[in-house]
Amino acid sequence: MDPSARHLALVEVLRHEAREGVVPLVRLIEVALYWPNLGYYTSTNTRVGKLPGTDFTTAAALGPMFGELVASAAESFLGDLSTYTLVDIGAEPNQSHFSTVADRFAHCQTIRYGESMTFPPRAVCVANELLDAQPFHRLQFHQGRWVEVGVRVDREELSFVSLPSFSSARIAQWSEKLPPATEGWILDVPLAAETILENLLSPSWSGMVMFFDYGKTLAQCLETSPVGTARAYVKHQLSGDILHHLGSQDLTCHVLWDQLEPLLKKHGFRDVGLERQEAFFVKYAGKEMERIAQGGDWESRGRLRALTHPAHFGSKFQVLFGIR
């Protein structure tokens, strides 16, 4: 579908739901990303990679090396993996980055968008950029208090507005713990990331989790991100314009690591940690990195550098992990 037509179709969906012409921003994000057949993640477009027409590149798109480093890290914590099922959560359609390490595991399972999250008794669960792909609320400090941001959809141009009340009791309660901020300060709050993490951790399986993503702590957002962390990606270009091209660009915000880390401990995980991707692989997949660096060809060493160098994915991404 033409991007303009897709945008207009999604705006029409929102107009049918709007109260007095306004919807919460979180609902716009949800519709733009996941509305059947029209949303960014429900369309058949190829999103990930470096080929023309793609929008962004992830660590997993660099080939099987990512899976080899992940498997090596899992072995550092669990030892023999032959009794564990590798569960890859949120992988793109037709994308599998664990084909070369499948024989180290009892089974390999991929859970894609819309599929049931069912887990074997022993699992190594890996999610690459799953948490940042969830809808998020936006709060703004206005006249001495935090208010939720909505979007006016009853006019030709979409625009941000303050909601007269919070869209849910959950975000209202969440906002109560926030300290005051400078007038106009924006905070993007991915509560849906917490929800999906709870759903993933609640079943009583044992093993390991590794979440690869980009994020900040709540304190960092309140100190260094006055306009929020939400952004759009299209054709490898970063944009702050999240109200246009609905359905044709990725909409995302930084996850809040200090809100997610306690959930692992709540559900019985130990050795819980948060590391930069570079440090995580150096600490727990160092032997695999050394093997690639010494024995790999020029292309392999280039991919390793992209995964671990601070100028590339190494410091831009972090890893939240734990075992149970």
Q: Give the DSSP letter string of 245-294.
A: STTTSEEE--EEHHHHHHHHHHTT-EEEEEEEHHHHHHHHSHHHHHHHHH
Q: Which domains does the chain have, with CATH numbers?
A: 45-135+192-214+254-323 (3.40.50.12710)
- In the prediction, which pLDDT does 310 show? 67
- In the prediction, which pLDDT does 92 show? 72
Q: What gap in Å lies between CA 150 and CA 127, rounded to an integer?
A: 30
Q: Say if residues 103 and 81 touch (Cβ distance below 8 Å).
A: no
The tally of CA atoms less than 13 A away on the side-chain side of residue 232 is 17
**What count of residues does the chain have?**
324
DSSP 193-214: HHHHHHHHHSS--EEEEEEEE-
CB < 8 Å & 24+ apart, contacts of 27-30? 27/135, 27/167, 28/151, 28/153, 28/158, 28/243, 28/246, 29/135, 29/136, 29/242, 29/251, 30/135, 30/192
Q: What is the SS3 assignment for 7?
A: helix
| H or E, element range at 75 | helix 65-78
Q: What is the SS3 assignment for 318?
A: strand
- In the prediction, which pLDDT does 113 show? 79
Q: Say if residues 197 and 260 touch (Cβ distance below 8 Å).
A: yes
User: What amino acid occupies position 200?
Assistant: L
Per-10-residue mean pLDDT, the chain, length 324: 93 96 98 95 70 58 82 97 95 76 95 86 95 96 98 95 98 97 98 96 95 96 97 82 94 97 97 95 92 76 74 75 98
- In the prediction, which pLDDT does 64 show? 81
